[in-house]
Amino acid sequence: MARPAPGPVYNVAAVVQGGRLEYEAVLFAASFRAANPGFPGRLILLEPRPGPLWPRDPGIRNPALRHLLEDVFGAEIRRFDSRAFGAAYPQGNKIEGLAALPAGEPFVFFDTDTLFLDALARVPFDFTRPTASMQREGTWPVIELYGPGYAATWKSLYDRFGLEFESSLDPAQPDEHWEKYLYFNAGWFFHADPRRFGGLYLDYATAIRDDPPPELVCQPLDPWLDQVALPLVIHALGGGRDTLPPGLLDGAVSCHWRVLPLFYARAGAGAIETLERIAAPNRVKKVLKDYAPFRRMIYQGRGRKARALFAGQPLPRREQAIRNRIRRAGLWMR
């Protein structure tokens, strides 16, 4: 029986920098290697260089951690220059860092607070039809009493960049409901060429920041700028919502855990077991224990205590209610 043709070879990327993200990157890389043995592409971590937009070196601070990422988990660390964002908007690293990826090679970008639960080979990426995470809430735009509404706000951006607005809409949703308009979480996205995607992303994001349409005059862009520009980039490159089967990324294959107390409260038992298993080897534990939230939540059992707060009862529907209960118990940390 003939074997199925192999899928495209692509690179997996994330941003790593000093502080919280460097410790998250260890869990990211460890879980990636555990779930993807023999992965044919490269695991590339994008590290910002020091420069005038950073008051201090934004790079990895812990040499033992760098050794673990490069020599144990086989990550290729590539540095990039911050010319547009830097410390004023660190989320811009995922935009500017794409320039350091190999040109013309398909890529999937993930935030470092991602845990891999199964092989990425299960995901049928079509790199000509980019998309991004639909695990989001209606955080932007913020609609004022006297408008403009969702349609006018989003249409002003499509018009600014010469994009067709109507084809981006979800006909299954009513007018002025936030889900009718293309909006993503920037926790993962992919495309066939990081230079093309990243160049467009940078152009759109800086134009929105520096010269927004009048409809955005009262809109907050920090921290939402990356998620405001992202749907425009995806639409411009021929992608859209749901170009992947649901339930794989942000589901059976990957988990965007975001904040450990929330992860322990909401994740399935298998995901928690995966996290604790990949964090258990001494060479990993020795590094991760330097970061207080990981030490307390994973190794000192506070994550399990946070989970016990919700045992035997339905989780509150609103994330803020979950956060509040964890805070009242003195178990919130990041």
Profile the chain (334 residues) by mean pLDDT over runs of 10 residues: 63 97 98 97 98 97 96 98 98 98 98 98 97 95 92 98 98 98 98 98 98 96 98 98 95 96 95 98 97 97 96 89 96 92
Q: What pLDDT is recorded for position 88?
A: 97
Evaluate whether 31 touches 278 at the Cβ level (below 8 Å).
yes
What's at 187, amino acid-wise? G
Please indicate, yes or no, whether residues 20 and 100 belong to a single structural domain of this protein: yes
The last residue of one of the domains, among 189, 204, 236, is: 236
Question: 81 and 36, same structural domain?
Answer: yes
**221 and 290 fall within a common domain:** no
CATH code, 17: 3.90.550.10
Answer whether residue 131 is part of any domain. yes
Quick check: helix, strand or coil at residue 80?
A: strand
My answer on whether 213 and 274 are in the same domain is: no
- Is the bond leading into 148 cis (omega within 30 degrees of zero)? yes
Quote the CA–CA distance of 67 and 75 in Å, as a whole number. 10
Claim to verify: residue 185 and residue 288 sit in the same structural domain? no
What pLDDT is stored for residue 6 in this prediction? 63
> For residue 188, which phi and psi values (nearest 5 degrees)?
-155, 150
Looking at the structure, tell me whether residues 223 and 266 fall in a common domain: no
Domain carrying residue 189: 11-136+181-236
Phi-psi region for residue 250, left (φ > 0), alpha (ψ -120 to 50) or beta? left
Q: How many domains does the chain contain in total?
A: 2
Q: 315 with 186, same domain? A: no
Q: Are residues 227 and 275 in the same domain?
A: no
The residues facing 256 across adjacent strands are 114
